Structure 1
Amino acid sequence: MAHFRISEAQIISLFLESVAWGILLICFISCMKTLLFTPDGVKRRGAINWQMLSVSVLTFLVATFDISIALYHNIVAFVQFTGPGGPDAELTNISDWVNVMKTADVVISTMLGDGMLFYRCWIIYQRSWLAAFPSLLLWLACLGLGISVIYFESTLHSRILVNANQLVPLITAYLAGTIVLNVITTFLIVWRLWRVERTNRRHGLLDASGVRSQLFSVETSKRRSKLMDVAFTLVESGMIYTVTTVITFITYVVKNNAVYVVSSVGVQAVGIAFDLIIIRSVTRQTNEADRAYDASHSIQFVRSNAALGGKGYASRGATQEQDRGNTIPMQIMVSQSQDRISGDFSRKAG
């Protein structure tokens, strides 16, 4: 790939971005269906998550615009341009409006994706600015760097590539900041969910005397909780975008023209990752719709007679007791609350 020309990079970029846009289109249609419709018909206006809807539409529009101008640029370079230098001369005009807008698309899509990741972190930490401050600071820094990249690129008026020395410091810092922002914010979200999950399990699986219910431990060991499902959804779906950004950073640092290919696919990856999180979250919500929103469970914890100086055992299913006099009835209310941000659920036991 040492002699990977810019003209070759642009053709491959257009092809792969077209494939990615096709995937995005399918995800976008499915996302709109989950956000706007229920099995019974169209959702009421008050039931629609307008924040998620707006960002999904914006990322799709940016991605569609990006692939449109990429097609236009290739037509101009390979068909219409007749000047000296051939297609490479047209494609390396760094301050041409198409090249500037391609860079702007990367910045806008990245800021939208990272902004929503920060927003989820802020919501999960109960709108605590202190907890979300590191993510906010990084997002603002990346925004400033992105605007600077667009400005300097539009004023260079030279036939150079994006990995030219004039742009390397800004773009390197921007890509590195985006990666750090994704890693830190995702970690904060998963760590918060894990702590809540650990607390819920501690209160949900232990009775007042500290005796663990064998029935519950067997059941919960066979399935993953809703909070952990949320964490895995964020990590798995977000990996599409994060991995693309890491590859973009590597190709840019080594000054390989493959950066044009990966960065173009990355614009599509932002929308794909965002839509997948919504689709998977709402699908999980739909699967729970047939269950009671608030369910009361009567649970009997059986204490062993050994604790009372006698002989006996605790029944695993609490359906057979050797000494019914030691059966302790408990009433536990398990409630589920929906997070409108992504359709996620959290549990509270009391």
Structure 2
Amino acid sequence: MAAQMPLDQVFIVSIWMEAVLYGFLLALTLASVYINLALHRHQSTHSRIMFGVGVVMWAIATVHLSLNCYRLIQGYVIHRDYPGGPSAWFSVLSSWDHVTKDTLYATQEILGDAIAIYRAWILWNQDCRILFPLVVLLIGGTISGYTVCGTFTEEHGTSNIFDHKLKSWISAFYAISFVQSVLTTGLMAYRIWSTERFSAKYRLDNRSLLPYLRILIESAALQLIAELIVLALYASGRNAQYILLEALTPVVGITFNAITIRIALRSSETFMNMKGEPRQHTSGYTTRPMRQTIGGSAMPAQAITINIDQDIETDARSDAEELDRK
């Protein structure tokens, strides 16, 4: 087996990666603020909920990064003479800063899972049948995640994150988070695909829901890959799992905001194109475009034009008699 990366090296790499990803999250959050201010009058209640959740996720990621910066100074400057060096100091699980930062990570994951369930529920027309397995997983993830954080406070300085007492709970939390992400993303993707397949036969133009499917899959892929890698690294007992673990807090926020912003921009572009089309005088009428949402971001469905032809027969003899009477 290859030698383990020392914790002091792992922590430097992990905080560097977290800081880079936090920069992306900050940019997305600012973009979300701009879009919400620009489209404030046209926003639904769901959109406002999503915007509020995005701000909360950014706040959690900000405090998490700040705590890691604090730990960086403590480990390499203030406690540089700690017995065993920085590696030994970082391995202490019961310190308030370690417990707090991991509690923030667990909260970010749980919040992301809860909002993904909400998005899937909205997209499935509030069908409660899909909620049961997802809510059960959410409850299991919440219990396992906060149990780990509570157990940290009881650990002694010689404890290790791979100890048997912790490993079962941590593995359960990682696994549940990954399965939850796969299920919610799969349910939303299937719903968009099935709707697109059904509406294709009635569509009179080239508007499609497939771009929304691509947005969902591309944006969720980063979080799914990160959660799978951290689960594999932890199961194999590698310290490198810390690198992905610290990165997951901003990654959850990036995934959430990326989906919300890209769908909002796509929907706004589609709506403006629909408004800019010249009106044509035709027999019959056109139904109003219906809207579906992915957790508040409007997804305009396709308008269906219904033409009504009326055949009117005229009796020539009746017309002639009418003219004679006049």
Do the structures match in fold with TM over 0.5?
Answer: yes
Match of 1:265 among 247, 250, 253: 247
The whole-number CA distance in structure 2 between the counterparts of 1:32 and 1:335 is 27
Structure 1 partner of 2:102: 103
1:279 aligns with 2:261: yes
Aligned-pair RMSD on alpha carbons? 2.5
Is there any run of 5+ residues in structure 1 with no aligned partner, and where? 206-215, 300-328
- Aligned-partner residue type, residue 341 of structure 1: G
The whole-number CA distance in structure 1 between the counterparts of 2:91 and 2:119 is 39
Task: Give how far 1:85 is off.
Answer: 1.4
Structure 1 partner of 2:162: 163
Aligned-partner SS, 1:162: coil
Distance of aligned partners of 1:235 and 1:104 in 2 relative to their CA distance in 1, 3 Å threshold: same
Is there any run of 5+ residues in structure 2 with no aligned partner, and where? 307-326
The whole-number CA distance in structure 1 between the counterparts of 2:105 and 2:246 is 8
The whole-number CA distance in structure 1 between the counterparts of 2:289 and 2:7 is 57
The whole-number CA distance in structure 2 between the counterparts of 1:53 and 1:46 is 10
Structure 2 partner of 1:61: 59
Distance of aligned partners of 1:96 and 1:192 in 2 relative to their CA distance in 1, 3 Å threshold: same
Q: How many residues align?
A: 300
Instruction: Give the number of the structure whose residues are more often strand, by fraction.
Output: 1
The whole-number CA distance in structure 1 between the counterparts of 2:186 and 2:12 is 37
The whole-number CA distance in structure 2 between the counterparts of 1:283 and 1:28 is 14
The whole-number CA distance in structure 2 between the counterparts of 1:9 and 1:141 is 29
Instruction: Give the number of the structure whose residues are more often helix, by fraction.
Output: 2
Greater shift, 156-165 or 20-29, is seen at 156-165
Contact 1:6/1:91 (CA < 8 Å) preserved in 2? yes
Structure 1 partner of 2:289: 335
Structure 2 partner of 1:22: 23
Contact 1:138/1:177 (CA < 8 Å) preserved in 2? yes
**For 1:182-222, what per-residue CA distance to the aligned partner results, in whole angstroms no more than 9, with x for missing partners?**
111111111122222222123x05xxxxxxxxxx5xx64xx
The whole-number CA distance in structure 1 between the counterparts of 2:276 and 2:73 is 59
Structure 2 partner of 1:234: 216
Task: Give how far 1:32 is off.
Answer: 1.2
Task: Give how far 1:342 is off.
Answer: 2.1
The whole-number CA distance in structure 2 between the counterparts of 1:55 and 1:121 is 16
1:243 aligns with 2:225: yes
The whole-number CA distance in structure 1 between the counterparts of 2:181 and 2:130 is 15
Task: Normalising by structure 1, report the TM-score.
Answer: 0.79
The whole-number CA distance in structure 2 between the counterparts of 1:199 and 1:343 is 19
Task: Give how far 1:332 is off.
Answer: 5.3
Aligned-partner SS, 1:343: strand
Structure 2 partner of 1:135: 134
The aligned runs of 1:41-120 (5 Å cut-off) are: 43-44=40-41, 49-81=47-79, 82-120=81-119
Aligned-partner SS, 1:344: strand
The whole-number CA distance in structure 2 between the counterparts of 1:289 and 1:184 is 30
Structure 1 partner of 2:6: 5
